[in-house]
Amino acid sequence: MIRWSEEQQELCRAIGEVAAKLGSDHLENDKNGTFDQEGWQKLKDVGLFGLPFDTRHGGLGKDLTTTVHVLEQLGYAGRDSGLNFSVSTHMVSTGVPLQRFGSSALKERYLPEICAGTMIGAHAITEPSGGSDVMGMLTTAVADGDDFVLNGSKAFVSNGSIADLIVVYARTGAPGDVAGITVFLVRRDSPGLSVGNPISKMGLRTSPLAEVFLDNVRVPRDHVIGAKGAGFLILDHVMKWEILCGFGIIVGEMRRRLERCVEYARTRTAFGSAIGSNQSVANMIVEMRIDVDTAQKWIHDTAEKLQSKADVASDIAITKLVVSEANVRSALAAVQVFGGYGYVSEYGVEKDLRDAVGGRIYSGTSEVQRQRLATLMGLNRPVKLS
């Protein structure tokens, strides 16, 4: 079990106090699909966006486990799941690859703005025809003098319509070639880059989602992140952080949901007694508790393991599966515990369920995670017969 230092606990308290004051209108924002600009500003002011980044670039210089711990508190205290999701996307999609793989010049130019939250980041990976098939992407980047010229389109870009910087993954080699993908830092105002209207979706409605179109977009060579052909390596690193940070937030949201259900079951009466005294209701809430504790353990254990530079290929896939599936079960159980009040929009319980479903899809679907685990276990590799 991780023992948090007083400094880490104080950082959590500070972020939690700010987050708890946000989202008073989160249900109305969810209804209208409105991004909370004021909430973003307040989180920016408290320095949240700089958590894992070097102090010389304006960050707080915290390690991965501290970052995940603090983001869990954001999820617990902050009621706007869409805003929480946009925060994680901004930090991980743009800041993490810049810090780990960016040139000194790129980091000096852009990381301070990422840390400050004055420029919002997004990454464009998924394509309309490919879904989770990253290696089959069709967007191309062709070298031309001192630039690369990008052409193609990207789908389901979180923060797409509010982003100032977009990390674009494009093919510079043959389709299916593991060394055929390169990563580019592209400014939103680049000629030829256009962003579609925000896409209406089932959940996380306050986190803008959009398509991005690239029509002969010229990107200077010095805006390549890492090296040409290093895209798959960069994506692997980013996805580990994305799962731990994004789903660390979800653990916090699950904790808050559990507390709401316990309080409701203690105070809501039916047939002359609190509904929590009914064993079937109590059992649902106990299962929610087990899911919370299990999800939290996987998140923090895997973060510790990654921080120690251990192999976490299996751990990341299991963590993503455990947390995303537990979140859906927990949210569905909460609707059942609250009954009619859980089904109507006013209480925000049904919103939790809509928000939770997306977690089984983004950052690699549950099916992809199971396939990855099967591969690591040697189950779907061809066997050579002598």
Quick: pLDDT tens for 293-317. Answer: 999 999 999 999 999 999 999 999 9
Q: What is the band of 265 on the pLDDT scale with cuts at 50, 70, 90?
A: very high
Q: What is the band of 380 on the pLDDT scale with cuts at 50, 70, 90?
A: confident
Per-residue pLDDT at 4 exceeds 90: no
Domains in the chain (CATH in brackets) are 6-120 (1.10.540.10), 122-228 (2.40.110.10), 232-376 (1.20.140.10)
Q: Cα–Cα distance between 52 and 63 in angstroms, integer? A: 6
DSSP string, 178-245: TT-EEEEEEETTSTTEEEPPPPP-SS-TTS-EEEEEEEEEEEEGGGEESSTT-HHHHHHHHHHHHHHH
Catalytic residue among 113, 127, 211, 242: 242
Q: Write out the H or E segment, with its range, that includes residue 140.
A: strand 140-144
- Please indicate whether residue 242 is annotated as part of the active site: yes
User: For position 23, what pLDDT does the model report?
Assistant: 85
Sole residue written with tokens 């990563």: 183
Angle at the Cα of 71 from the Cα atoms of 23 and 88, rounded to 5 degrees: 80
Give the distance between the most distant pair of CA atoms in the chain: 79
The model's pLDDT over 22-78, given as tens digits with 9 standing for 90+, comes to 988 999 999 999 999 999 999 999 999 999 999 999 999 999 999 999 999 999 999
Q: Write out the H or E segment, with its range, that includes residue 142.
A: strand 140-144
Average pLDDT over residues 182-204: 97
DSSP bridge partners of 150: 141, 217
Q: What is the band of 379 on the pLDDT scale with cuts at 50, 70, 90?
A: very high
Mean pLDDT taken over the chain: 95
| Cβ atoms of 242 and 363 closer than 8 Å | yes
| Cβ atoms of 268 and 275 closer than 8 Å | yes
Q: Cα–Cα distance between 368 and 362 in angstroms, integer? A: 11
The model's pLDDT over 341-370, given as tens digits with 9 standing for 90+, comes to 999 999 999 999 999 999 999 999 999 999
The model's pLDDT over 140-177, given as tens digits with 9 standing for 90+, comes to 999 999 999 999 999 999 999 999 999 999 999 988 88
Q: What is the band of 1 on the pLDDT scale with cuts at 50, 70, 90?
A: low
| Token pair listed for 121 | 């980041």
Convert 224-241 to b/e letters by CB count within 10 Å (16 or more is b).
bbbebbbbbbbbebbbbb
Q: What is the band of 130 on the pLDDT scale with cuts at 50, 70, 90?
A: confident
